[in-house]
Amino acid sequence: MDLHIFFLPFLAPGHMIPMIDLARVFAGRGVRSTIVTTTANVPLIQPTLDLANADDSLSHPIQILVLSFPSFESGMPLGHENLLAFNDPEVTPEFMTAINMLEAPFRQLLQVHRPDGIVADIFYAWASDLAKEFGIPRLVFHGSNTFCTVVSGALSRLKLHESEQAFDVPGLPHRFQITWSQLPEFITKPDDSMKRLGDGYRTSYGMLVNSFYELESDYIDLVKKGSETKLWHVGPLSLSQQAEEKAARGNAASISSDDCLTWLDSKKPRSVLYVCFGSLGQCTTRQLHEIALGLEASDHPFIWVVRNAGEPSEWLPERFEERVIGEGKGLLIRGWAPQLLILNHEAVGGFVTHCGWNSCLEGVSAGVPMVTWPLFAEQFFNEKLVVEVLRVGIAVGATVCSHHKEKRAVVKGEAIKKAVDELMGSGEEAGSRRKRAGKLKELANEAVAEGGSSHMDVSCLLDDMVNLKASRGI
């Protein structure tokens, strides 16, 4: 039966990228997939779609429908249609107002196109009610993993007090400790808008998760045992990308694939460290300076991605560019890096990551161990998963969870060097960590292959959608 699904991603790369991947996975299974987004976001998506649609095996090309962003009505500056445009990567009340105002034009699209289901990001709290109005299922996508869902649930049931003491999160399959300052605001200061998002999730048909069963089975089993919520684990979604799509993903890269690959080809296997703080992560000048010191001292070749920093003379140590970049030891990418292309190159042996979930999963899928450096949101939870549950990472020692770079404690160059040397070193534990990372890569690839756990979850979900459509008598 012919299925038509609408995909409504939240307007930030970390949410849009995996949802476009998801639309691609569905399209690969014969679903008519339509992405709904706002005008200024089209150029971020179109190149990926053009490449995906060049695949002759797709029975329907992936389409885009465009909504006009209510800048004026919501009080947002013109052109600020994606968190990429913000100085601090925080969702402001005005941005949320704009997201809520998209409901009316989205309803009009539903009236005209009558899709069989909606996959909408968790930020669209109104999507579940709207789907009900049209008698179709709404699936939630939140861009995170089930471990975070379980940890957030456990923390929200505790009476938490501000304190410097690390504490255990009770009732979980693994024991780990966390501090108050590492907790995101949605735990320390939950507000009404969070409650609304939770309600939208609870009244949805179910949740799609970019993860795979073998990665977090204890946590998936726990959720499935303890609630009625329907969950489908359909990742790693980045593995849906063909080679040439990897370079176009998310944004226009600030370096050509050829230049990047030529540089990587000149390095020994597993010798290069890749340093990136996601699509939104920024560092203070002081922090950038410490990273430069740490990378130079650690003596491993590196690719370092830097966003929105001032003149290099303000943050790079004196003559760093001649000594380090000029000598070919380091490659500085200022802007957007072709991350998937880099992580999957055989020269890359370590990843310093801010622990956004996509980055963690892309590191896992590439079999690359990580130095974890969480900055904001649920990233400190992801650090626990990577370091303490999966044991494929080393924590650099970040202590403060904040969207504002000035509020985070500076990590010194020595601490960075120590973590990097341990990760890239030849010690026994480094070897075991690499082996574990290699095993996870295998499991990730098996999960999305025909008959794998994620492949089967997609099949089950699509069967469900087909049955629902049939039961509506269409």
Instruction: Give me the residues that bind ligand UDP (CB under 6 A), please.
Output: 13-14, 17, 249-250, 276, 278-280, 305, 336-337, 339-340, 356-359, 362
Minimum gap (Å) between residue 277 Cβ and ligand UDP: 8
- Which one of 4, 15, 289, 403 is the catalytic residue? 15
Q: Specify the residue, 16 or 178, whose C-beta has the smaller distance to ligand UDP.
A: 16
Nearest Cα to 128, choosing from 62, 202, 50, 39? 202
| Whether residue 121 lies in the annotated active site | yes
- Please report the sign of the dihedral spanned by the C-alpha atoms of residue 203, residue 205, residue 206, residue 208: negative
- Reading phi first (left if > 0) and then psi (alpha if -120 to 50, else beta), residue 249 is in beta
Q: Specify the residue, 108 or 256, whose C-beta has the smaller distance to ligand UDP.
A: 256
Residue carrying structure tokens 């200024």? 40
Residue carrying structure tokens 């924590």? 395
* CB neighbourhood size of 165 (10 A): 8
DSSP string, 320-344: HIIIIITTTSEEEEES---HHHHHT
Q: Specify the residue, 38 or 82, whose C-beta has the smaller distance to ligand UDP.
A: 82
The answer to whether residues 382 and 360 touch, using CB atoms and an 8 Å cutoff, is yes
Residue 314 burial class via C-beta count within 10 angstroms: exposed 0-12, middle 13-18, buried 19 and up: exposed
Minimum gap (Å) between residue 439 Cβ and ligand UDP: 22
Measured distance CA(126)–CA(122) in Å, rounded? 9
Enumerate residues 6+ apart whose C-beta is below 8 A from 310: 285
* CB neighbourhood size of 473 (10 A): 5
Measured distance CA(19)–CA(10) in Å, rounded? 9
- What separation in angstroms does the CA of 443 have from each of 31, 216, 467? 26, 12, 30
Six token digits for residue 384: 């626990």
Minimum gap (Å) between residue 199 Cβ and ligand UDP: 24
Minimum gap (Å) between residue 135 Cβ and ligand UDP: 33
Minimum gap (Å) between residue 408 Cβ and ligand UDP: 14
What 50-54 contacts at long range (C-beta under 8 Å, 24+ apart), as own/partner pairs, is 51/242, 51/244, 51/245, 51/248, 52/24, 52/27, 52/242, 52/245
Six token digits for residue 349: 């042996």
Q: Specify the residue, 364 or 465, whose C-beta has the smaller distance to ligand UDP.
A: 364
Q: Specify the residue, 201 or 304, whose C-beta has the smaller distance to ligand UDP.
A: 304
- Which one of 116, 121, 142, 403 is the catalytic residue? 121
- E strand intervals along 354-436: 370-372, 393-395
115: preceding bond cis by omega (within 30 degrees): no
Q: Specify the residue, 14 or 117, whose C-beta has the smaller distance to ligand UDP.
A: 14
Q: Which helix (H) or strand (E) holds 434?
A: helix 428-448
Residue carrying structure tokens 């409901």? 103
The answer to whether residues 212 and 235 touch, using CB atoms and an 8 Å cutoff, is yes
Q: Specify the residue, 379 or 454, whose C-beta has the smaller distance to ligand UDP.
A: 379
Q: Specify the residue, 130 or 303, whose C-beta has the smaller distance to ligand UDP.
A: 303
Minimum gap (Å) between residue 424 Cβ and ligand UDP: 21
Minimum gap (Å) between residue 419 Cβ and ligand UDP: 19
Residue 334 burial class via C-beta count within 10 angstroms: exposed 0-12, middle 13-18, buried 19 and up: middle
Q: What is the residue type of 36?
A: V
Minimum gap (Å) between residue 353 Cβ and ligand UDP: 7
Measured distance CA(248)–CA(24) in Å, rounded? 14
Q: Specify the residue, 3 or 343, whose C-beta has the smaller distance to ligand UDP.
A: 343
Minimum gap (Å) between residue 414 Cβ and ligand UDP: 26
Residue carrying structure tokens 């690719």? 303
Which amino acids are annotated catalytic?
15, 121
